Amino acid sequence: MGHQESLVFAVTRQSPELITPAKPTPHEYKLLSDIDDQEGLRFQIPVIQFYAKKNDFVDARKMDPVKVMREALAKTLVFYYPFAGRLREGAGRKMGVDCTGEGVMFIEADADVTLEDFGDALQPPFPCLEDLLFDVPASAGVFDSPLLLIQVTRLKCGGFIFALRLNHTMSDAAGLVQFMTALGEIARGASAPSIPPVWQRELLNARVPQRVTCTHREYDDVADTNRTIIPFDNMVHRSFFFGATEIHALRQLLPAHLRKCSSFEVLTAWLWRSRTRALQFDPEEEVRVLCLVNARPKLNPPLPIGYYGNTFAFPVALTTAGNLCQNPIGYALELIRKTKKDVTGEYMRSVADLLVLKGRPHFAAVRTYLVSDVTRAGFGDVDFGWGKPAYGGPAKGGVGPVPGLATFYIPFKNKKGENGIVVPVCLPALAMQKFVAEFDGMVKKNDQSVIGNTSLNIKSAL
């Protein structure tokens, strides 16, 4: 990964343009659901896909990725026309899409680099990300701005990079992959997506009258008494690979009755504790982990196939920093397992009711860690006609209104060909050194706190 960090290349961009639907689309006002328009989702989420050149002898001109994607996008927007609109906010902070057909922002670019130049470690943090997904001035607002920004960058080798930025209130990872899959089908010649998009956001609206029937500590109003929100500056981004060896090492730290837990639960317990140790909060302070839980399987009646709105909950596990850091990892794991079980259909109704009653608050962010597992979202299967991506998924960790708070679990194959999960972590520099020490200690099957040792070789974790 050292090679990747030193990679520098030039990207030449054309002027951003707006791509509008290929045919006239309905001009209507479509309300978001009460799950979509909460404060914690009012931000842009970046995704990046790397594709190798196509090896068959098709007319190369036909296979210009920029031309293919530009045309496919216009056709796909006929079906997904709300993406071509603009968000507005009405009474009670209720958001809706004004389906104006103004279009999504599109950038054509070329980079003097090959896919091979990125080396073995095609994983966040990506070099020159701000050049591969250009933040067009005045384009990133929540309201009255494009809901999607897409940059297609041709590479010297004939491959290309597809980078996208989405207004998160419109869709979650599953909804975004559904849109990207439709774009891929149309790019490959289909006349319509195999799964027609379904709006029906009212299915996740609050009840009338609202009644909060479950406990939702994730929306507590937590005062930041000790100024423990991580500072914006001096943040270090690094990725950590968890393959079979690392997950096995984690399982060895557990008592026998917990060893059958899911990799997500084991990994989350270890990351939460290690990150908390690295940040050195006061032992009596409350710390939290929010686990993104996909609520689709929990809803009865189920949501229609093709629904592309946000359908997850943020249930929270909480304890004191002292209890978390001093107990074996099984302690955190039990808290996380219980928290995930809380999410039911009733829980989702209760969340929607609470959000409306409380004015759509942000989830509690003080001393909070948020984990989102996108290993099954399907980014790695999106095919625009060049096969599956060499990397597909979130462009970086730590995204969202509060820097450094969120981590993704991304499916990844390392240079040895091992399948596993790559986790981008974003921490202040000193805390990152301590986190790396925790990682090294775990891999060496030593669960004692190694926090004291900060003079360590950072390279070892990468």
The confidence score (pLDDT) of residue 460 equals 28
Those residues with Cβ within 8 angstroms of residue 17's Cβ, 6 or more apart along the chain or in another chain: 105, 106, 107, 108
Mean pLDDT of 253-258: 92
* pLDDT class of 366 with cuts at 50, 70, 90: confident
Q: Is the pLDDT of residue 457 over 70?
A: no
In three-state secondary structure terms, 174 is: helix
pLDDT given for residue 222 in this prediction: 85
Q: Is the pLDDT of residue 139 over 80?
A: yes
What is the phi-psi region of residue 31: left when phi exceeds 0, alpha when psi lies from -120 to 50, beta otherwise? beta
Average pLDDT of the chain? 90
Residue 333 DSSP SS3 = helix
| Cβ atoms 383, 182 nearer than 8 A | no
**12 pLDDT higher than 80:** yes
Cα atoms found within 13 Å of the Cα of residue 39, Cβ hemisphere only: 16
* 403-407 mean pLDDT: 82
**Does residue 454 have a pLDDT over 50?**
no
Categorize the per-residue pLDDT at 52 as very low, low, confident or very high, splitting at 50, 70 and 90.
Answer: very high
398 or 131: whose pLDDT is higher?
Answer: 131
Kind and range of the H or E run holding 79: helix 65-79
Percent of the chain surpassing pLDDT 70: 91
Distance CA 264, CA 266 (A): 6
Question: What letters, b where the CB count within 10 A reaches 16 and e where it falls short, cover 324-356?
Answer: bbeeebbebbbbbbebbebbeeebbbbbbbbbb
What pLDDT is attached to residue 4?
A: 45
Q: pLDDT grade, residue 450 (50/70/90)?
A: very low
Distance CA 404, CA 230 (A): 7
Half-sphere exposure of 448 (CA within 13 A, CB side): 3
- Reported as a single tens digit per residue, the pLDDT across 105-125 is 999 999 999 999 998 658 888
Residue 289 CA to chain centroid, in angstroms? 16
What's the maximum distance between 2 C-alpha atoms anywhere in the chain? 66
Cα–Cα distances in angstroms (integers) from residue 25 to residues 59, 74, 80, 148, 206, in the given order: 33, 11, 9, 17, 29
The pLDDT score that the predictor gives to residue 125 is 85
Which of 460, 1, 455 lies closest to 246 in space, CA to CA? 460
Q: Give the pLDDT band of residue 75 (cuts 50, 70, 90).
A: very high
Long-range own/partner contacts, residues 332-339 (CB < 8 A, 24 or more apart): 332/268, 332/269, 332/270, 332/272, 332/273, 332/289, 333/254, 333/258, 333/261, 333/265, 333/266, 333/269, 334/258, 335/269, 336/265, 336/268, 336/269, 336/272, 336/289, 336/291, 337/261, 337/265, 339/291, 339/315
Which residues make Cβ contacts (< 8 Å) with residue 262, sequence separation at least 6? none
Tens of pLDDT along 81-104? 999 999 999 998 999 999 999 999
Q: How large is the average pLDDT for residues 259-273?
A: 94
Residue 20's nearest CA partner among 98, 106, 132, 108 is: 106
- Point out the catalytic residue in the list 37, 168, 172, 353: 168
Say whether 168 is catalytic: yes
SS (H, E, C) 188-220: CCCCCCCCCCECCHHHHCCCCCCCCCCCCHHHC
Q: Is the pLDDT of residue 302 over 50?
A: yes
Catalytic annotation present for 117: no
pLDDT for residue 62:
60
Report the number of secondary-structure helices (H) and strands (E) in the chain. Answer: 10, 18
Q: List b or e across 259-290, with b for residues whose CB sees 16 or more CB atoms inside 10 angstroms.
A: eebebbbbbbbbbbbbbbbbbebeeeebbbbb
Give pLDDT, residue 445.
67
- pLDDT beyond 90 at 402: no
Q: Which of 98, 220, 383, 440 is catalytic?
A: 383
Amino acid at 81: Y
Q: Is the pLDDT of residue 3 over 70?
A: no
Give residue-wise pLDDT tens across range 193-240.
999 999 999 999 999 999 999 999 999 988 776 665 556 567 888 999
